[in-house]
Amino acid sequence: MPLPAGVYRADHVGSFLRPKEILAAREQVDRKDLTLSALHAIEDTHIASVVQNQISAGLQSITDGEFRRAYFHIDFLQYFAGVERQGSLASTNVSSHEGFSPPRIVVVDKLGHPNAIQVDDFNFVSSQVASATKQDTKPITTKVCIPSPTMVHFRGGRESISTTAYPTLEPFFEDLVKVYQAEIADLYAAGCRFLQLDDTNLAYLCDAGMRAEAATRHGVSDPQSLTKQYAALINAAIANRPSDLIVGIHLCRGNFRSQWFAEGGYEPVAEVLFKELDVDVYFLEYDDERSGDFAPLRHLPAGKTVVLGVMSSKKAELDDKEVVKRRLNEAAGYCVGGLDQLCLSHQCGFSSTAEGNDLSEEEQWAKVRLEVEIAKEVWGDDLSV
């Protein structure tokens, strides 16, 4: 089967390790030793470079590396009217980096979308892609990654949403849908044709402990009702998209400095995920045993694509090429379309937060080049079919 436009056999989740100059500049801004406009100029320089690096490594789906963000979700959501970052959440950290507490998103007033959030960044990346590919005939896509709308609700629940602005939650979800629809419409008008929603919460609902905690936090007896609610929320947010806007979703179990937060296979959410969620492509974490086996892929309908994250962005060592190929073929056995329904990626980005995973930039690009090499050996040199 043909791939959705903008999806490639060697694909990626979106973020790359932040250059040290950007990290240092952010610290200067915090100390008020540097202006935001000066930071923006530094980011521009490095985004131009990361665009070229992606193309040179063989990728055809191009992002800004999330170089303008400290957190993959906070630095987008905080620009909706009515949303603030306040304090921090209790961490579910299970590995060695103690003391990590991500910022807390709070809805303090009615949600609104006063300005496009991601359009200027999309336009800048698109201009850099156009400049870098003047002589290139292969298809290239500028991909926009934004957090899923579930990120405004799951971790904080009712306590994080103003009862003055929203005495009941139904109007909150209606407004949440509207602000996402507005942003998506603005991105489409600017030329965006591939949108990726980054969602930790559907993956967290695969973890037995987190499912129980979520049921208590949200006052539901069956955590599966949250899975269905979130699928309906995402579907409503993307319902007005034009037919040529491809939408993907990335499920993540945590990716702060090479650590993880949740575990458990996709079986608890698989039927809803594949049969009820109205997206075109799934970027699924499958780099180790925490993600379970490939059996949930039996629910994948014909016509949908999975970008299989069997490679790891968390470690510096190169993945074993033959192991990757074997796992791709194993997963294909569960798909009605076999390998034609699959693509290859690392399980997550290389830097979901500004700190980045525990590897160097040179090691990062070596891993990307290996991924492209494997994809060509499996599917052929044309990564767009």
Q: What is the residue-wise DSSP string for 248-292?
A: EEEE-S--STT-------STTTHHIIIII---SEEEEE-SSGGG-
Would you state the pLDDT for residue 383? 97
For residue range 257-308, list pLDDT tens digits in order: 656 576 788 999 999 999 999 999 999 999 888 889 999 999 999 999 999 9
List C-alpha distances in Å: 171 to 111, 168, 177, 182.
Answer: 10, 7, 10, 16
- pLDDT category, 379, cuts 50, 70, 90? very high
Cβ-Cβ contacts under 8 Å for 26 (sequence gap 6 or more): 39, 70, 354
Would you state the pLDDT for residue 263? 74
Q: Where are the alpha helices (DSSP H) in 95-152?
A: 119-132
Q: 218 is written with which tokens? A: 């949200």
CA angle 59, 307, 188 (to 5 degrees): 70
| Burial of 152 from C-beta contacts in 10 A (0-12 / 13-18 / 19+) | buried
* Range picked from 99-108, 232-241, 349-358 for highest mean pLDDT: 232-241
CATH of domain 20-379: 3.20.20.210
- Give residue 255's identity as a one-letter amino acid code: N
Q: Round the average pLDDT of the chain to a whole number and report it.
A: 92
Would you state the pLDDT for residue 315? 92
Instruction: Pick 217 or 324 by higher pLDDT.
Output: 324
- Please state which of the ranges 98-102, 248-252, 317-321, 380-384 shows the lowest mean pLDDT: 98-102
Query: DSSP letter string over 56-111?
Result: HHT--EE--BTTT-SBTTHHHHTTSEEEEEEEEPPP---SS-TT--PEEEEEEEEE
| Burial of 31 from C-beta contacts in 10 A (0-12 / 13-18 / 19+) | exposed
- pLDDT category, 256, cuts 50, 70, 90? low
Q: Is the pLDDT of residue 101 over 60?
A: yes
Q: Return the beta strands (E) in the chain as ranges.
A: 61-62, 81-88, 103-112, 141-142, 144-147, 194-199, 246-251, 281-285, 305-311, 342-346
- pLDDT category, 237, cuts 50, 70, 90? very high
- pLDDT category, 93, cuts 50, 70, 90? very low
Q: Is the pLDDT of residue 37 over 90?
A: yes
Helices 36-57 and 119-132, axial angle in degrees (round to 10): 40
Instruction: Pick 265 or 11 by higher pLDDT.
Output: 11
Longest pairwise C-alpha distance within the chain: 58
Record the pTM: 0.93
State the sign of the Cα–Cα–Cα–Cα dihedral 310, 73, 189, 119.
negative
Q: Is the pLDDT of residue 255 over 90?
A: no
For residue range 105-151, list pLDDT tens digits in order: 899 999 999 999 999 999 999 999 999 988 778 999 999 999 999 99
- pLDDT category, 96, cuts 50, 70, 90? very low
* Range picked from 74-88, 145-159, 230-244, 349-363 for highest mean pLDDT: 230-244
Calculate mean pLDDT across residues 237-261.
85
For residue range 183-197, list pLDDT tens digits in order: 999 999 999 999 999
- Please state which of the ranges 41-50, 58-67, 93-102 shows the lowest mean pLDDT: 93-102
Calculate mean pLDDT across residues 361-368.
97
Instruction: Pick 251 or 157 by higher pLDDT.
Output: 251
- pLDDT category, 207, cuts 50, 70, 90? confident
- pLDDT category, 86, cuts 50, 70, 90? confident
- pLDDT category, 97, cuts 50, 70, 90? very low
